[in-house]
Amino acid sequence: MKKNHFSFIYLFLACVCSVLVFLACSSDNNDELASNIDDRFVGTWVRDESVSGVVEQVYTLTLDSDGSASYSWYRHSNTIGNTGHESNGIWYYDKNLNRIITDCTTSATGSTVILDVVSVTSTTLVVKQEGSSKSKTYNKR
């Protein structure tokens, strides 16, 4: 009976140690992600490419201070109807590359949203999507 009692204690301690190791690693990852969040980019950014009377087309990029991100676009035209896409994930800012990196996608089968920063102010974010030569301007909502 005494032998079973000690086996239970060892099993209990092994479980507690496993949980502590898991929590410690998780915290390190969150700290690392938080150190790569640049407050200049935190917020909801909107790019409106609508043409009055022809098409409504809006892109929205939300970058939160906790490292979460969302990217969506919506298009309505009288001839095609409504289309859109939404993707959620994480983001961080790579200072060396001057790049916002997310794991959000541009469409169901599209590429990941990675943006080279051209300029940023408190109200305007100008970026180039990775691989594109054309810059896009987002305004802070």
Handedness of CA 124, 125, 126, 129 (dihedral sign): negative
pLDDT at position 53, please? 86
Please list, in sequence order, all residues whose beta carbon lies within 8 angstroms of the beta carbon of residue 7, skipping any fewer than 6 positions away. Answer: none
Mean pLDDT rounded to a whole number for the chain: 82
Answer whether 98's CB lies under 8 Å from 117's CB.
yes
What's the pLDDT band for 86 if we cut at 50, 70, 90?
Answer: very high
Q: Structure tokens of 53? A: 């009377």
pLDDT at position 108, please? 67
Answer whether 86's CB lies under 8 Å from 71's CB.
yes
- pTM here is 0.73
Answer whether 43's CB lies under 8 Å from 60's CB.
no
Residue 58 has pLDDT above 70, yes or no: yes
pLDDT at position 73, please? 95
Provide the 3-class DSSP secondary structure of residue 132.
coil
Q: Which residues pair with 73 in a beta bridge?
A: 59, 85
pLDDT at position 128, please? 97
